[in-house]
């Protein structure tokens, strides 16, 4: 007995800013793919004056909220889904797309739309043929609460204040729209202007000197359009990873940083990774922290693990 076929509802939030307008260009094709799979689709194109977190927080029960944009945009929508209890469906539409890479969704937005299309019908033979078991694709997703004088923000990837943060800032200021190329440029440019500084942190209540080249707190382990900084990061274990590269001379730091860019950081003894649930940074005051491709706080700030902060449709 096939039962009645019902259409699921999905609210698609589209960033007008990510990757030089890439999401805007792809949005109509993605909506057509979703509707072709049976979804009842509502769409909202957001501009810089909109608050995607607030929009996602106002949805009604039973609605899936999809976010098409860069990692910072996806994190903002995830925050709104946390507040509303809505199911979060990320669609890669930025330069780096590291959240979707970490979730094994991949960086191709059209492939992601085709994968989601099969979930548009709720029951019956047509739904079975279209796309398999919906519930098996829903899982809890951890995050990080970042508390600072600027307020409380949700981050999903890596919070950093070291060379990787400087590289992210320079990549954002460049005109490059391809993630790995932009971040590669940012990394080399950062080396010319970054000087390791004193970093004071408290990790799970214990004071720690994290001075040097890299001082990061990881949830996903990914940044920079596919670079794996912390291979041990797990987005559903309720634990964060603290990544530190100390104050090495530049000639010794270069091969370490090159190994990070090449995705081989876990094999280098100078890259120290420890587990934690809360990390506070007190120095250097006023330094910008980056997360998910965006500025998220300035020192001093605290990062706390947020286990199962939102449910995600992969």
pLDDT digits (tens, 9 = 90+) for 76-91: 999 999 999 999 999 9
Q: What distance, in Å, lies between the first and last C-alpha atoms of the chain?
A: 28
CATH number of the domain that 112 lies in? 3.40.50.10330
The total of structural domains in the chain comes to 2
- Report which secondary-structure segment, H or E, holds 30: helix 22-36
Token readout for 61 is 């029960």
Whether residue 1 is contained in a domain is answered as no
Q: CA angle, corner 309, sides to 97 and 61, nearest 5?
A: 95
CA distance 278 to 300: 14
Query: Could you read off the pLDDT of 168-200 as tens digits, one per residue?
Result: 888 777 766 666 667 767 777 777 777 778 999
Domain co-membership, 156 together with 203: yes
pLDDT exceeds cutoff 70 at 265: no
CATH number of the domain that 170 lies in? 2.60.200.40
Q: How much is the pLDDT for 226?
A: 82
Q: How would you label 72-99 residue by residue, b for 16+ Cβ within 10 Å and e otherwise?
A: bbbbbbbbbbbbbebbbbbbbbbbbbbb
Long-range CB pairs of 230-235 (<8 Å, 24+ gap) are: 230/158, 230/265, 230/266, 230/273, 231/265, 231/266, 232/266, 232/273, 233/102, 235/102, 235/103, 235/141, 235/142, 235/156
CA distance 271 to 213: 10
Q: How much is the pLDDT for 60?
A: 82
Query: Rounded mean pLDDT of the chain?
Result: 89
Could you say which of 97, 132, 167 is where a domain stops?
132
Domain co-membership, 22 together with 52: yes
Q: How would you label 166-192 residue by residue, b for 16+ Cβ within 10 Å and e otherwise?
A: bbbebbbeeebeebbebbbbbbebbbe
What does the pLDDT average to over 252-259? Answer: 79
Domain co-membership, 61 together with 156: no
pLDDT exceeds cutoff 70 at 232: yes
Q: How much is the pLDDT for 51?
A: 97
Domain co-membership, 182 together with 297: yes
pLDDT exceeds cutoff 50 at 131: no
Domain co-membership, 58 together with 206: no
What does the pLDDT average to over 275-286? Answer: 97
Q: How much is the pLDDT for 283?
A: 95
More confident residue, 162 or 45: 45
Token readout for 154 is 């949700």
C-alpha to C-alpha distances, 216 to 194, 242, 251, nearest whole angstrom: 16, 6, 22
What does the pLDDT average to over 222-246? Answer: 91
What does the pLDDT average to over 252-278? Answer: 80
Domain co-membership, 147 together with 221: yes
What proportion of the chain, given as a percentage, has pLDDT over 70?
91
- Report which secondary-structure segment, H or E, holds 67: strand 63-69
Among 114-123, 142-151, 189-198, 290-299, which stretch is predicted with the lowest mean pLDDT?
Answer: 189-198
CA distance 149 to 128: 50
pLDDT exceeds cutoff 50 at 1: no
Domain co-membership, 37 together with 181: no
Domain co-membership, 147 together with 287: yes
What does the pLDDT average to over 266-294? Answer: 91
Query: Could you read off the pLDDT of 113-124 as tens digits, one per residue?
Result: 999 999 999 875
Q: Which domain holds residue 208?
A: 143-308
Q: How much is the pLDDT for 124?
A: 56
pTM of this structure: 0.90
Domain co-membership, 234 together with 266: yes
Domain co-membership, 114 together with 189: no
pLDDT exceeds cutoff 50 at 243: yes
Query: Could you read off the pLDDT of 192-217 as tens digits, one per residue?
Result: 777 778 999 999 999 999 999 999 99
Whether residue 2 is contained in a domain is answered as no
Question: How many Cα atoms within 13 Å fall on the side-chain side of residue 189?
Answer: 16
């Amino acid at each position: 007995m096939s039962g009645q076929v019902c259409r699921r509802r999905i609210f698609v939030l589209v960033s007008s800013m990510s990757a030089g307008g890439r999401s805007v260009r792809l949005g109509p094709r993605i909506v057509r793919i979703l509707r072709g799979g049976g979804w009842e689709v509502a769409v909202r194109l957001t501009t810089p004056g909109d608050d995607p977190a607030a929009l996602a927080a106002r949805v009604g029960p039973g609605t899936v909220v999809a976010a098409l944009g860069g990692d910072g945009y996806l994190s903002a929508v995830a925050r709104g889904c946390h507040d509303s209890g809505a199911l979060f469906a990320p669609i890669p539409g930025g330069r780096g797309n590291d959240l979707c890479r970490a979730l094994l969704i991949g960086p191709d937005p059209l492939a992601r739309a085709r994968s989601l299309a099969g979930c548009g019908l709720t029951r019956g033979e047509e739904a079975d043929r279209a796309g398999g078991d919906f519930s098996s694709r829903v899982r809890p997703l951890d995050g990080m609460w970042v508390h600072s004088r600027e307020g409380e923000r949700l981050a999903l990837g890596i919070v950093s204040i070291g060379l990787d943060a400087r590289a992210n800032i320079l990549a954002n200021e460049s005109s490059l729209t391809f993630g790995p190329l932009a971040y590669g440029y940012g990394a080399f440019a950062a080396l010319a202007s970054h000087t390791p500084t004193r970093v004071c942190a408290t990790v799970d209540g214990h004071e720690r000197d994290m001075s040097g080249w890299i001082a990061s707190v990881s949830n996903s382990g990914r940044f920079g359009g596919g670079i794996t900084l912390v291979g041990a990061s797990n987005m559903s274990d309720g634990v964060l990873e603290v990544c530190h590269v100390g104050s090495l001379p530049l000639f010794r730091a270069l091969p370490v940083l090159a190994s990070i860019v090449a995705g081989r950081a876990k094999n280098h003894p100078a890259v120290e990774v420890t587990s934690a649930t809360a990390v506070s940074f007190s120095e250097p005051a006023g330094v910008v922290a980056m997360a998910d491709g965006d500025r998220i706080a300035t020192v001093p700030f605290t990062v706390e693990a947020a286990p199962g902060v939102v449910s995600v449709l992969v």
